[in-house]
Chain A
Amino acid sequence: MFARGLKRKCADSEDSPPAPPACSLQRQSLLDMSLVKLQLCHMLAEPNLCRSVLIANTVRQLQEEMSQDSAWQVPAPASAGRGPLERLVSTEILCRTPWEQQGGHSAADSGGSPAPDLLSEPPGAPSAQAPRGAPGCAWEAASPRESRGGFQRSLDQIFETLDSKAPRAAEGLFADVDGPYYDLDAVLTGMVGAKSVPGDGFETLAPTGAPPPGVSYKRDLGELDHVVEILVET
């Protein structure tokens, strides 16, 4: 289980081989779960602000740790000048919808500068630039390589699960974890409650708009940006 000592164990294992897969996988799946929760609370009739804030703080903490861990494993690339803080995904943008904005979103903040060291990562991943507005930039700019890829993979898994509505698809995500675990569908059903079928809500996440001209996106990244757009647009 996550609860006890996980963080300390990872932090102290500087001499041991790069973070054991179980540790980062658990952290990753926790992060994914949290992001899904944030998206869901965007869809409820009346998002609970306290819950949203707590989840957002958890996400922030997870990403902080993940970026710290990655910093140890991977020597800092050319962007060494930028502090660790700037690498953080701007969760404020993630969470903007749940607690509304006064006036316009200041899109100019966090993550405005394009990321230089962006991903030429797993084959087929899109090339660096995110030509879209601030939200897209924030996503691209922040994550260090490794967690970016991992995050992308996990988001894929989430969307796959939701599209296929196959409960077993989520099992792989939580394979390493012992204890009574609900699969993702049960979680989603439980949260959305009697009002709507989770599938209904998630249809809207499927990308409908065309990516901007001149940029070739993989289907996954298009979905990702679309999700962020939905989150930000309210």
Chain B
Amino acid sequence: MVLQPSERHYRDWSHRRLGPWCSPTGSPAPLSCETGCGEGSWILVCRLLVPTQVSLLSMEEDIDTRKINNSFLRDHSYATEADIISTVEFNHTGELLATGDKGGRVVIFQREQESKNQVHRRGEYNVYSTFQSHEPEFDYLKSLEIEEKINKIRWLPQQNAAYFLLSTNDKTVKLWKVSERDKRPEGYNLKDEEGRLRDPATITTLRVPVLRPMDLMVEATPRRVFANAHTYHINSISVNSDYETYMSADDLRINLWNFEITNQSFNIVDIKPANMEELTEVITAAEFHPHHCNTFVYSSSKGTIRLCDMRASALCDRHTKFFEEPEDPSNRSFFSEIISSISDVKFSHSGRYIMTRDYLTVKVWDLNMENRPIETYQVHDYLRSKLCSLYENDCIFDKFECVWNGSDSVIMTGSYNNFFRMFDRNTKRDVTLEASRENSKPRAILKPRKVCVGGKRRKDEISVDSLDFSKKILHTAWHPSENIIAVAATNNLYIFQDKVN
């Protein structure tokens, strides 16, 4: 089969599965509003890592990928810096889970289909497709490298047999199509079996090519490249509910794109001051409303959230709503502004609330109330007295993400020492869990962790000074309808699910 020069097909070396694509099997587990996030209910499903070695294999060889899968993808530490996971995202059905890493690669995992023979494997995710999304580039004008690190991945809702996702680095957004191929045409008239053109004089019969089954192959193709629209670093992308447009946000501007048009975008927010010396605030995150295609929010480094309506004007520099909590004077310090900087903003699935993450807390806001959040959760308040050290070692600038569960009843975010936290909004209970190799055996129940703040330390507690600040959980994802979560710890991807009795 001859590949078109304009398209590069990335052959995939996940294990080859027999069977056509189909909608996910199995009924979703009861939502966590019934099971809660109480202690002892989460188990490790699998820990995955995709080392760099895999990508060095030649694309031309026909490799037995099952062998690769088994030998490389479990429990090997080939980890390099390029393998550090930088984004995690489930698709809209939860069947697929995409990760992006610092090396510009995207790895997509697919959920193991349920079968009667292997009931215990339900909920496991296996590699489905791997491809190089972004390459390192060099900006000649500024003499600066453009990192290939994938900052964000966002899935498009599925509209046909193929899957589409957006992936972005600091400067360029790409639309990727991931599709399965399980048939190939054979018996061409004009070409021989290797694809070479036959000498017309030798053709004496007429025949029609026939589609014959082949081993399932997953291909990833770049369908669109949206480049040259951002001067500053892209921190967010968000697909609009109209499925026709999406936005990309950098430190100072937000652009609106149409999926079909790559050489043009609309600038909808611009906070760049005329005089750069007056710059005191940047955009940190942005997201479209899940249902209203004219509404979006963006957060800032000063701890504010602005909600904008695109119907009001072409350039949404004037917000429709402005969310800011008045500062608590008793907590004021030189670091107040830094820790108020919002690192992530997410709409609830209902569209009624937004959740923001700043350095020490997660806050839930009601869209109808701008003057303060309706809920505030302390993620790791014991760090408040350590802010100076954290400023010194730059940890204070870490950008943690936050996620909702499918029913908006539980929120989750990461912390240090490979800890991550869940807060149940209904019961007001919270739990701290750890994603680490030492403490997790497959199917073992996760033990809740506790940080000891001062005084006597109990047996299982860990003191604040023993926390490992190099082990940070910045990226997590929650399955859209089930209690399955993906937690990225450096180059490891942990998948947990709640124990179903």
Contact = CB atoms under 8 A, between A and B. Distances in A.
A1 interface: yes
Contacts of B160: none
Interface stretch (A68-76, A91-99, A113-121, A220-228): A91-99
B389 A102 contact: no
A7 interface: yes
A33 B334 contact: no
Interface string B164-178: 000000100000000
B388 A48 contact: no
B279 interface: yes
A61 interface: yes
Contacts of B338: 54, 58
Interface residues of B, number: 41
A2 B337 contact: no
B334 A1 contact: no
A3 B301 contact: no
B388 A30 contact: yes
A62 B335 CA distance: 10
B138 to A, nearest CB: 10
Nearest to A94: B277
Interface stretch (B56-64, B221-229, B280-288, B306-314): B280-288
B282 A179 contact: no
Contact of B385 (A3, A90, A102): A3
Nearest to B387: A3
B389 A49 contact: no
Contact of A3 (B142, B147, B335): B335
B179 to A, nearest CB: 34
A69 B386 CA distance: 25
18 contacts: A1-B386, A33-B392, A49-B252, A51-B397, A53-B281, A53-B282, A54-B397, A58-B337, A90-B277, A92-B279, A95-B277, A96-B276, A106-B275, A110-B277, A179-B385, A180-B389, A181-B392, A191-B394
Given A33-B392, A92-B277, A101-B276, A49 B337 contact: no
A90 B389 CA distance: 26
B338 to A, nearest CB: 5
A101 B273 CA distance: 11
A49 B170 contact: no
Chain A, interface residues (CB within 8 Å), range: 35 or more
A49 B392 contact: no
Contact of A99 (B276, B333, B341, B386): B276
B277 A187 contact: no
Contacts of A30: 334, 388, 391
Given A1-B386, A50-B251, A109 B391 contact: no
Contact of B394 (A50, A90, A190): A190
B393 A50 contact: no
Contacts of B333: 2-7
Interface of B: 81, 142, 144-147, 170, 232-233, 251-252, 275-282, 284, 301, 331-335, 337-338, 341, 384-389, 391-394, 397, 465
B305 to A, nearest CB: 16
A221 to B, nearest CB: 24
A179 B391 contact: no
Interface in A167-208: 177, 179-182, 186-187, 190-191, 194
A206 B24 CA distance: 64
A102 B388 contact: no
B145 A45 contact: yes
B282 A50 contact: yes
A174 B147 CA distance: 36
A61 B334 contact: yes
B334 A62 contact: yes
A176 to B, nearest CB: 12
Which residue, of B142, B146, B388, has the highest number of chain A Cβ atoms within 10 A? B388
A162 to B, nearest CB: 16
A82 B116 CA distance: 83
Which residue, of A58, A95, A96, A182, has the highest number of chain B Cβ atoms within 10 A? A58
A51 B389 CA distance: 16
Interface in A21-57: 27, 30, 33, 37, 45-46, 48-51, 53-54, 56-57
A132 interface: no
Contacts of A177: 388
Interface string A150-180: 0000000000000000000000000001011
A54 B332 contact: no
- Sort A-B residue pairs by CB-CB distance and give the 3 closest, nearest first: A92-B277, A49-B251, A2-B388
B82 to A, nearest CB: 13
Contacts of A92: 276-279
